Amino acid sequence: MKNKDNMIYIRTFSFIVIGFVFSFFTSSLWFNVIVKIREAIYTGDSGHLILASAYSSILFSIQSTLFFLGTISLLSIINKKHQMSHIKTYVFVIVVFSILNRIVEVFFIVPWEPITMIVGLFATMILLKEQDYSSFEFIQTTIIAIQVFFAFQWLNIMPTFSFLQIGQSDISMSIKIAGEYLKSESVLNFIGFSFFLPFTFLASITASLFMIYAHNILILEENYKKERDIQLIKSKAMENRIYQEIKSLAHDLKTPLVTIKGLNSLIPICNNKDKLIEYSERIEGAITKMGEMISSFLYEESRQKLKVEELIQYIQAQIPIEDEFLNVDIDLETQLPLIYVNKVRVVRALINIVENAIVVPCIHKFKHIIIKVRKVEGGVKIYIYDNGIGIKPSDLEKIWEIGYSTCKTSGLGLPFAKQIIEDHNGIISIESKLEEGTCVTIYLPSANDIKNKRGDCGE
């Protein structure tokens, strides 16, 4: 931060010093302007007057731009510590700008035009009104300032504006007197307007483009920040989902642990060798089951052959039987093929869908959920029906987005389920009708056939 402040001080000092150096070394160039005026008088060619006007306008505009940049840079330093009002800002810039130009006029005998320079200063600040003067946009400010100052300096050579005390320096007066001598006042007026109007218009367009660009950059930054916040929220939500999976796994591990503990307590009091062998085998089976559960959780790519019936029984065990207003029917077809899945993750995905069906609002007295499993070509289809209020057609595509929910839930269940099902080469789809209910269809390929088949709700 300190280095940045030092750079601002150096920049301010540099602009002001360069402005003085420029005025010092270009003081001899003003003699060339006088030479062009004399040539115009000697030759009677008003073209030399136009060249003299161009030289003076360029010198005036560069000098004004350098001092303006120095003044604005100084203002940015002050505004970092004491934020000034708009009126104080304008007064400060005018005073400092005028002092710098007056110093140049006194010490380097360089002419300056107070009226056009200060009016140009006002015009430049108006075009830069959207700029925060606690910061400093060098390129933007330079381009607009030099266009405005160059445009306004052409007013100095126009006889039309002499009554407003514009163009009162020796150079400007000499050009207008020479124009009057050559009967070229109309030419000077025309040339002045020809440069003033286009450059003023160009400066306005440039300032508008810069403001639009700055506004777009601000919008992009805001969108990036919002997107980053959304991603952070999603990340935390997924962490919560993983935490829920861990809780489910811990709960599932209790069953084999209870089996192991119970059988282990029987071993010391059992004298029957056959029973001991049976207990040992059951303990070993429970340990194997625990190992499979842990592996399925830790390793997403872990897969094992599994009966669909076992999958459904596990889901059935998670349904809250104490809810007297909830009816759940299980309809399994016989001779279902084996599936090749990560048991823990697929079960968690299916439970998420069932939990959504349970919490969805219902206009009926009883919430009715049907879990139907059918054998299809290449695998099985699991249908989960509910008689809830249904989902609007416009919301059907959004339900797969993380965080989106129509029932004030976390909005993670369905995206998680979709990811798990698709990771297993399966397909998940939803059909819904308002006031009638929703049907979620899951296709899982059999262990011997992983070809994807898509279908609708029904048998």
Q: Domain end: 209, 229, 249, which one?
A: 229
Residue 453 in domain: no
Q: Say if residue 293 is in the same domain as residue 379.
A: no
Residue 459 in domain: no
Q: Say if residue 314 is in the same domain as residue 335.
A: yes
Q: Say if residue 316 is in the same domain as residue 406.
A: yes
Give the confidence band of 372 by pLDDT, cuts at 50, 70, 90. Answer: very high
Q: Say if residue 123 is in the same domain as residue 245.
A: no
pLDDT score for 454: 43
Give the confidence band of 404 by pLDDT, cuts at 50, 70, 90. Answer: low
442, 381 contact by CB (below 8 A): yes
In the chain, % helix, strand, coil (3-state, to 5) comes to 65, 10, 25
CATH at 287: 1.10.287
Q: Say if residue 272 is in the same domain as residue 166.
A: no
161, 188 contact by CB (below 8 A): no
Q: What is the pLDDT of residues 70-110, one digit of tens each?
A: 888 888 778 777 777 778 888 888 899 999 988 988 888 88
d(CA 74, CA 80): 10
Q: Which helix (H) or strand (E) element contains residue 329?
A: strand 326-332
Give the confidence band of 326 by pLDDT, cuts at 50, 70, 90. Answer: confident
Question: Is 440 exposed, middle or buried (CB count within 10 Å of its CB: 0-12, 13-18, 19+)?
Answer: buried
Check residue 401 and report its DSSP letter.
S
Q: Say if residue 279 is in the same domain as residue 309.
A: no
* 100 CB-side CA count, 13 A: 30
Total structural domains in the chain? 3
Q: 132-146, 191-205, 211-225, 232-246 — which is least confidently predicted?
A: 232-246
Q: Say if residue 344 is in the same domain as residue 372.
A: yes
What are the phi and psi torsion angles at 362 (to 5°)? -140, 135
Q: Say if residue 346 is in the same domain as residue 308.
A: yes
48, 37 contact by CB (below 8 A): yes
Q: 103-107, 381-385, 396-400 — which is least confidently predicted?
A: 396-400
Q: Which helix (H) or strand (E) element contains residue 236?
A: helix 185-266
Q: Say if residue 289 is in the same domain as residue 310.
A: no
Structural domain range at position 389? 304-445
Q: Which helix (H) or strand (E) element contains residue 382?
A: strand 379-386
How many H helices and E strands in the chain? 12, 7
pLDDT score for 305: 85
- Residue identified by tokens 């991603």 is 231
Q: Say if residue 22 is in the same domain as residue 107.
A: yes
Three-class SS of residue 256? helix
pLDDT score for 452: 46
Q: Say if residue 279 is in the same domain as residue 322.
A: no
Three-class SS of residue 307? coil
Give the confidence band of 453 by pLDDT, cuts at 50, 70, 90. Answer: very low
Q: Is residue 118 over pLDDT 70?
A: yes
Q: Say if residue 108 is in the same domain as residue 251.
A: no
Looking at every residue in the chain, the average pLDDT score rounds to 82
